Chain A
Amino acid sequence: DIVMTQSPLSLPVTPGEPASISCRSSQSLLHTNGYNYLHWYLQKPGQSPQLLIFLGSHRASGVPDRFSGSGSGTDFTLRISRVEAEDVGVYYCMQGLQTPFTFGQGTRLEIK
């Protein structure tokens, strides 16, 4: 199985400040088609996970442009340029390259 490791696991942020979350995979997520099969989700309190970034760097429909994803192979980063109060929740990375699909442990973002 591909192991996904996120850091940090807890992320207190002041509104308006930037934030970043790292996700590392135990194997390369780069497919022969050129896409990195790494996705980012945000699970807001009491809600289902919602897709933020797919295939490493593609912002999902309706996601604010303050969210961005980067990286390739085994190292990926989710960045929030200016954190807002509505961004609180748990962020998960997920690899979709091969089954079993696997998730990171989650990073809890809280507002200072």
Chain B
Amino acid sequence: QITLKESGPTLVRPTQTLTLTCTFSGFSLTTTGVGVGWIRQPPGKALEWLALISWDDDKRYSPSLESRVTITKDTSKKQVVLIMTNMDPGDTATYYCAYRGSYNYGLGTYSFDPWGQGILVTVSS
């Protein structure tokens, strides 16, 4: 069974750097065809994809946030870390991490499934 859980601060001051950790189980990020993504959702608004890291350390970012976001992995700890700099009140959102596996390799659905429970991060002074 694949599970993911987000952790990190729930309150961040404007201009500070946010560091979120996704701790997962049930798969290895060294397996070909596997990836972990980050998605966020401002209160009452739609979902927004942020970043994806794959088994081969390929990293993809949302162009609108690429200058502020970094995604890394620690395969031995089974963790994926998202770093977002220069936080702004507009970054207030629930942040989710989610698994993405290759359908052709029988590892998933090419979609994000499952998702973690999410962590609400508020940016306020």
A interface with B by C-beta (< 8 Å): 1, 33, 35, 37, 39, 41, 43, 48-51, 54-55, 58, 60, 92, 94, 96, 99-106
List 12 additional A-B contacts (Cβ < 8 Å) besides A48-B116, A49-B115.
A33-B104, A35-B110, A48-B96, A51-B111, A54-B110, A92-B47, A94-B47, A96-B100, A99-B49, A100-B60, A103-B47, A105-B46
Chain A proximity mask over B49-85: 1 for CB below 8 Å, otherwise 0: 1001000000011111000000000000000000000
Cross-interface CB contact of B60 among A1, A49, A99, A104, cutoff 8 Å: A99
Which of B52, B111, B116 has most chain A Cβ within 10 Å? B111
Instruction: List residues of chain B with CB under 8 Å of any chain A CB.
Output: 37, 46-49, 52, 60-64, 96, 100, 103-104, 109-118
Cβ-closest chain B residue relative to A92: B47
- Identify the 7 closest CB pairs spanning chains A and B, nearest first: A54-B109, A39-B111, A51-B113, A101-B49, A48-B115, A99-B60, A103-B47
Q: How far is the CB of A92 from chain B (nearest CB, A)?
A: 6
For A33, what are the chain B residues with a Cβ–Cβ distance below 8 Å?
A: 104
